[in-house]
Amino acid sequence: MAKYEQTVTFHRSNRASSVHRAIVFIHGGAWIDKNNTPHDFDELSQCLLDLADGNPSFSIYAIEYRLSPTVKHPAHICDVIENLVKLVEQEGIEELNLMGHSVGATLIWQVLSGIPSLANVKSFATPDKQKLIRKLLKRCYLVDGIYSLSELLEEYPSYDYFVSQAFKQIEDYDDPKHSQVTIPLNADIYVIYSYRDELLSPRQSNYLCSALQKLNKPFQSYWDDFGEHNEVYSNARVAQYILHTMQMH
């Protein structure tokens, strides 16, 4: 069962006269780390609230998903879509913005790209649920993510210890250059990377940028020193960037 009961509400917008906008955070942790939870974003959420004088024009949430090795792909992305749908329906969200760190960014990329190889997987979230989420997408912030398993294992062979727990075979994951992906036209993409990331070199983010260029998909990138891998999701300048871009219409 998807872990909807572990969804965290950091802020619920009280601007009833406008469209209910929300940003939803998705944590990383290599699909296996129990230490990474929706509360990874406590500091970032508080920073967003402080920057907006306690009253941003959007709600702030974070969702959970089941971890490997208890489950394997596509359970993680199924949970993400199921929990996003429940959140949208229960909170009346009309504009959906997503921010994911590490494999949280991977999961958002799977939502964006439509995950072509899973079209006939019976356990996967229904097409109607996928369509609903993709229709509501406005902004996607992909932060220090993993976008190609083959490239990842070529660069870091030792990372097979977590990839093998999450995937039966890496062919189950669609690398963006190798897929007929269909990115929603309404979704703006922001690729964020910290130069001090000690767990992922720029190779993964460069890979994604190259794929987006080949797909003729506009995107923005913000690369700087936001700290080490597990410091990026609490960085004040990342929060400031998110708030700035959320205020653009």
Q: pLDDT higher for 230 or 183?
A: 230
Find the helix or strand (DSSP H, E) in which 234 lies: none
Q: Given this model, what pLDDT does residue 121 score?
A: 63
* Catalytic residue (one of 73, 144, 197, 205): 197
Nearest to 178 by CA among 233, 236, 118, 116: 116
Q: Tell the residue number behind the tokens 């009253």, with chain if given.
A: 55
Catalytic: 197? Answer: yes
User: 4-246 sits in which CATH class?
Assistant: alpha beta
Give the tens place of pLDDT for each residue, 57-75: 999 999 999 999 999 999 9
Share of the chain above pLDDT 90, in %: 77
Q: Which residues in 122-138 are b (16+ Cβ under 10 Å) and which e?
A: eebbeeebbebbbebbb
Give the tens place of pLDDT for each residue, 17-48: 688 999 999 999 999 999 999 999 999 999 99
- Residue type for position 223: W
Nearest to 190 by CA among 114, 247, 138, 139: 139
Find the helix or strand (DSSP H, E) in which 96 lies: strand 95-101
Considering the chain, what is the average pLDDT of its residues? 92
Question: Confidence band (pLDDT; 50, 70, 90) for 114?
Answer: confident
Angle in degrees, CA 92, 40, 135, rounded to 5:
30
How far, in Å, CA of 78 to CA of 74, rounded? 6
Task: Tell me how crowded residue 178 is: count the other CB atoms within 10 A of its CB.
Answer: 14
Residue 128 has pLDDT above 90, yes or no: no
Q: Given this model, what pLDDT does residue 91 score?
A: 95
Give the tens place of pLDDT for each residue, 148-182: 999 999 999 999 999 999 999 888 888 877 767 78
* Catalytic residue (one of 45, 102, 194, 205): 102
